[in-house]
Chains A and B, each alone.
Chain A
Amino acid sequence: MKRFAPLMALLVLVLSACGREDLSALNPQGPVAQEQRDLMLISILIMSIVVVSVFAISIYVLIKFRRRKGDNSIPKQVEGSHKLEVIWTVIPIILLVVLAVPTLKSVFSLAKDYTEDPEALQVIVTAHQYWWEFEYPELGIKTAQELVIPTGKTISIQAKTADVIHSFWIPSLAGKTDTNPDGNVNKMYFSAPKAGVYQGKCAELCGPSHGLMDFKVKAVEPSSFERWQIAMLDTVQLPSDSEIASAFESQCLTCHAVGDYGGGAFPNLTGIGSRESVAGILINVEEGEIEYKHEDTVYNNLYKWIKDPEAVKPGNHMTGAYQLTDEEVAGIAEYLSNLTLDFE
């Protein structure tokens, strides 16, 4: 592979020019995605040999051997050529062997099981229509939509689903793995050396809102991660306004949890005010920085979502599950937007 190094370097340059750092598989931000991107480059290089030679022969043949006007000659009827046929059988086989060796190496290295590794951070990913649940079994923490991880540490994922098949994918950190039902748990691992927010996607058709089933991976310094753990386990205050509090308890906490309150079947809302997004798809930005349709302030996003979830994510399970007046929606959105964690 050494002799391809300059070519590879050139390709890296060209490819990294395209694609967002937090989203593109061509612009990897972690070792797993890096390994996968390198395999892509090797295969692109090998395959470009094939493409270039076929294109070159095609163009030559089409120009050289086109029929001239009035040409009625009969070309020589060639049956074939053993020599040529051996050449274009053997050369592809050699090219494939060159490709197969790193492929096999990588298949086995990426299948490494870190679930028993004390050095790795264990995370159980459970996919739902249309949200992601992240459980840290060693830390006793459950959260949703945003996977917070410490930089540099290997994250060991056990992926499963609560309903249909989804697929867990963070393009700039690691390739995807399907989430299967019924105890059929898939394992994978990845790590993020650099702090930052990375985009996660569902990659298996799972219903109308499949394309909206985004999540975020937030990589923070190990010290911040420790503060996050503590903050997540801290006690949470219910809304101070008693009417809002009772609406929140009777309408929201039947499904959701904050801190020690509420049920666990649907996304845990602890620290939702600090998350990058509401419902995974409405991106929270500061006022005045709103650029796109899906961006707004935390409060506005929460209000929009609670007011009419169907308009944000068609077919979701929250629609129609509660009854709130506009004042209650506003109060709950206000409360949740202030439900922040100080850890960064």
Chain B
Amino acid sequence: MAHAHAHAVKRRTGIMDWLTTVDHKKIGIMYLLAGGFFFLIGGLEAILIRLQLMYPQSEVVSAQFYNELITMHGTTMIFLAAMPIIFGFMNAIIPLQIGARDVAYPFVNALGFWTFFFGGLLLNISFIAGTVPDAGWTMYAPLSGTTYTEHHGTDYYVIGLQISGIGTLIGGINFLVTIINMRAPGMTFMRMPMFTWASFITSALILFAFPALTVGLAALMFDRIFSGNFFNPSAGGNVVLWEHIFWIFGHPEVYILILPAFGIISEVVSTFSRKRLFGYSSMVFATVLIGFLGFMVWAHHMFTTGLGAIANALFSIATMLIAVPTGIKIFNWLFTMWGGSIRFTVANMFAVGFVPTFVMGGVTGVMLAVAPADYQYHDTYFVVAHFHYVIVGGLVMGIFAGMHYWWPKMFGRMLSEKLGIWTFWMFYIGFHLTFFVQHFLGLLGMPRRIWQYLDGMGLNNLNFISTIGALMMGVGTIMFLINVVITMRKPKNLSNDPWEDGRTLEWTIPSPAPEYNFAQTPLVRGYDAWWHEKMEGNTKMTPVEPIGPIHMPSPSILPFFMAVGLFIAGFGFMYSKPADWGTTGLIIGAAGLLITFGCMALRSWFDDHGFHIEEEEILKDQGVKA
């Protein structure tokens, strides 16, 4: 961006640009990159798990390392891969879909990314430190407490997740405010694209669910670092309390993950069927209802805990109810395609593949809701199969659909469709091979989280098939990475609406979008705003303002250092016990906090009024692009 025009704020280039950016599009890309990086780590862990289970009684990894692998696989995939990738899409797309120039709090947005990133980094540094979390991603007490986990594994989990959780919580708040306040004129709530709606509900779930996790993690941290007794039964603590707190967060978390995928699928299916989303208002209603019911069902993760018949009965029924709004969504997708003109782009193949796969995950969910049958399913491979059908068959398919669909908008280049088709089939077939057989493994008596199974138990063949499937998924993922690398070398030459069937506002602006997104804020005249204009024969949106200077937020390095401070503080306090570094740990911890609070002070005392992008530059951009 070498412009001759003088700006009040210097625009940075290279690495400094990425470290200081508050631009939602760049933050979105950083979320995708970091999330993708952690996805590869989590995937590698998964492959190791499957290699260990390929044959009975094998010793590819040790029992201790195996528990570390399953713990870090779950934690990484949920908190450091799935959530950030979703935030990546929300950042990259939502402001464009609602006709906004940025999110409501750009500075907070950057802070959210950096806290997530450094929290995730801290968690994974445990591998280098040699004390890895090993009590399962659910971190059930008392196994995770100091009595039974003497090493620092749980500390890394507690503090790493606490830091990255800050990022998630402020990110959620940011998107709530953005979607409520920054929609373009005419975009009423009931004209919002489905992805925006789904992200809105997800943000609301984050707002209510993450504080539960924060409290739980804080209590566990007190237990571990300051000898608290929240979850220590021998001192009057209660381990079932941890289960409740964890799942009061943990179940809504499932919907936090899947709702944005629902949103992506809605966009992709509608676009490539060249048809309006069937039953839009019932889709919105179903999404809200799923979000609401999501808070009422946590105890179905605890049917075998011994809560009693009445609790089990109520939570059984509440859980079954979720099938109703989910069913509404499934049939709405099918009837969006019905009568449409379906084009099988890679994005749409993932979306179309998602629907039956997710239904299979959904029906096993209803089966699990039957409490007495769950006494058999619980903590077996049946459950493993179920939640991977929902999370991989649902969420990850949604992510792949979104990647292929929005890649042109994010990068101005089209991913190779040819390679994409290979990616799809490799991943899709691999996925079903891996997880379909696991339903049966569970029913045949294989508990989950086991390091070895005995030979001669009738479990060998299915486990072998499952591992082959996992390797295929690995190959599929590598194909996607190759596709990304190849695509990055193509020229940026795409039109505003490269799929030609775009329906929403992001397809009315250049690919990739300019820094200010919309040169002129558009007027929204109906649901599927861009499609609406196209059908009336218009080639562009009606602007609500003349071209003029656009006010932009200034870049800042402070969010980066605030997160670095928290990272250092967490690290120091973790080792502040006399047996470890003692006072040195405390000093390091205090120094870290000083950095964070210092940055907060700087941010508060010095006003930053941002800068303006002048009319000339905007006109010049348009000249080049048009």
Let me know if B335 and A84 touch, CB within 8 A: yes
> Which chain A residues lie closer than 8 Å to B371 at the CB level?
103, 106-107
Let me know if A75 and B273 touch, CB within 8 A: yes
Residue from B140, B359, B376 having most chain A Cβ neighbours under 10 A: B376
A31 on the B face (CB < 8 A)? no
A2 on the B face (CB < 8 A)? no
Q: Looking at the complex, which one of A47, A104, A180 makes contact with B239 (CB distance below 8 Å)?
A: A180
Q: Looking at the complex, which one of B135, B233, B338, B457 makes contact with A181 (CB distance below 8 Å)?
A: B233
Let me know if B143 and A207 touch, CB within 8 A: yes
Interface extent on B, as a size class? 35 or more
Let me know if A164 and B375 touch, CB within 8 A: no
Give Cα A77 to B528, complex, Å: 11
Give Cα A171 to B443, complex, Å: 8
Mask for A68-98, Cβ within 8 A of B = 1, else 0? 0001011111111100110011001100100
> Which chain A residues lie closer than 8 Å to B447 at the CB level?
169, 201-203, 211
> Which chain A residues lie closer than 8 Å to B582 at the CB level?
none
B610 on the A face (CB < 8 A)? no
> Which chain B residues lie closer than 8 Å to A172 at the CB level?
445
B449 on the A face (CB < 8 A)? yes
Mask for B269-310, Cβ within 8 A of A = 1, else 0? 000011110111110000000000000000000001110110
> Which chain B residues lie closer than 8 Å to A33 at the CB level?
376
Interface 9-mer from B116-124, B197-205, B317-325, B418-426 = B317-325
A264: min CB distance to chain B, Å = 20
> Which chain A residues lie closer than 8 Å to B186 at the CB level?
none
> Which chain B residues lie closer than 8 Å to A57 at the CB level?
331, 334, 338
Interface residues of A in 201-241 (CB under 8 A from B): 201-212, 214
Specify the chain B residue showing the minimal Cβ separation from A68. Answer: B341
Let me know if A92 and B274 touch, CB within 8 A: no
Mask for A144-181, Cβ within 8 A of B = 1, else 0? 00000000000000000001110101011011111011
Say whether, besides A76-B339, A204-B379, A85 and B279 are in contact (CB < 8 Å): yes
A62 on the B face (CB < 8 A)? yes
Let me know if B370 and A180 touch, CB within 8 A: no
Interface 9-mer from A17-25, A118-126, A246-254 = A17-25
Specify the chain A residue showing the minimal Cβ separation from B149. Answer: A207
Let me know if B320 and A51 touch, CB within 8 A: no
> Which chain A residues lie closer than 8 Å to B549 at the CB level?
none
Give Cα A209 to B321, complex, Å: 38
A89: min CB distance to chain B, Å = 6
Give Cα A78 to B375, complex, Å: 45
B327 on the A face (CB < 8 A)? yes
> Which chain A residues lie closer than 8 Å to B338 at the CB level?
57, 61, 65
Give Cα A205 to B535, complex, Å: 58
> Which chain A residues lie closer than 8 Å to B218 at the CB level?
none
Give Cα A10 to B388, complex, Å: 29
Let me know if A24 and B309 touch, CB within 8 A: no
Let me know if B445 and A75 touch, CB within 8 A: no
Interface residues of B in 324-347 (CB under 8 A from A): 324, 327-328, 330-332, 334-335, 337-344
Interface 9-mer from A265-273, A286-294, A298-306, A322-330 = A286-294
Q: Looking at the complex, which one of A55, A65, A80, A294 makes contact with B454 (CB distance below 8 Å)?
A: A294
Let me know if B445 and A19 touch, CB within 8 A: yes
A9 on the B face (CB < 8 A)? no
Let me know if A36 and B376 touch, CB within 8 A: yes
Let me know if B274 and A207 touch, CB within 8 A: no
A contact residues, total (Cβ < 8 Å): 94
Let me know if B316 and A204 touch, CB within 8 A: no
> Which chain B residues lie closer than 8 Å to A79 at the CB level?
276, 278-280
Give Cα A110 to B359, complex, Å: 30
Let me know if B443 and A25 touch, CB within 8 A: yes
A101: min CB distance to chain B, Å = 11
Let me know if A103 and B451 touch, CB within 8 A: no
Let me know if A294 and B280 touch, CB within 8 A: no
A26 on the B face (CB < 8 A)? yes
Let me know if A104 and B140 touch, CB within 8 A: no
B309: min CB distance to chain A, Å = 4
A46: min CB distance to chain B, Å = 8
A67 on the B face (CB < 8 A)? yes
Say whether, besides A61-B337, A106-B372, A108-B313, A96 and B324 are in contact (CB < 8 Å): yes
Q: Looking at the complex, which one of A26, A187, A205 makes contact with B140 (CB distance below 8 Å)?
A: A205
Let me know if B342 and A66 touch, CB within 8 A: yes
Give Cα A66 to B274, complex, Å: 11
Give Cα A34 to B192, complex, Å: 50
Interface residues of B in 513-527 (CB under 8 A from A): none
Give Cα A103 to B371, complex, Å: 7
Let me know if B375 and A177 touch, CB within 8 A: yes
> Which chain B residues lie closer than 8 Å to A204 at the CB level?
140, 379
Let me know if B445 and A175 touch, CB within 8 A: no
Specify the chain B residue showing the minimal Cβ separation from A40. Answer: B373
Let me know if B366 and A99 touch, CB within 8 A: yes
> Which chain A residues lie closer than 8 Å to B440 at the CB level?
18
Q: Looking at the complex, which one of B57, B278, B282, B334 makes contact with A293 (CB distance below 8 Å)?
A: B57
> Which chain B residues lie closer than 8 Å to A93 at the CB level?
324
A50 on the B face (CB < 8 A)? yes
Say whether, besides A19-B445, A107-B313, A176-B304, A89 and B324 are in contact (CB < 8 Å): yes
Specify the chain A residue showing the minimal Cβ separation from B352. Answer: A62
B365: min CB distance to chain A, Å = 10
Let me know if B304 and A104 touch, CB within 8 A: no
With A164-B148, A292-B454 given, can you name 13 additional A-B contacts, CB distance below 8 Å?
Answer: A19-B444, A23-B458, A47-B367, A55-B359, A75-B274, A81-B335, A84-B279, A103-B371, A103-B373, A165-B142, A176-B376, A208-B64, A211-B449
Across the A-B interface, give the 7 residue pairs with the lowest CB-CB distance, nearest first.
A175-B375, A211-B450, A182-B233, A111-B309, A80-B279, A186-B306, A208-B63
Name 8 interchain pairs, CB-CB below 8 A, sorted by A. A26-B444, A40-B367, A75-B340, A167-B304, A176-B376, A178-B304, A206-B143, A208-B62
- Chain A residues at the B interface, C-beta cutoff of 8 Å: 18-20, 23-26, 33, 35-37, 39-40, 43-44, 47, 50-51, 54-55, 57-58, 61-62, 65-67, 71, 73-81, 84-85, 88-89, 92-93, 96, 99-100, 103-104, 106-108, 110-111, 129, 163-165, 167, 169, 171-172, 174-178, 180-182, 184, 186-187, 199, 201-212, 214, 281, 283, 291-294, 314-315
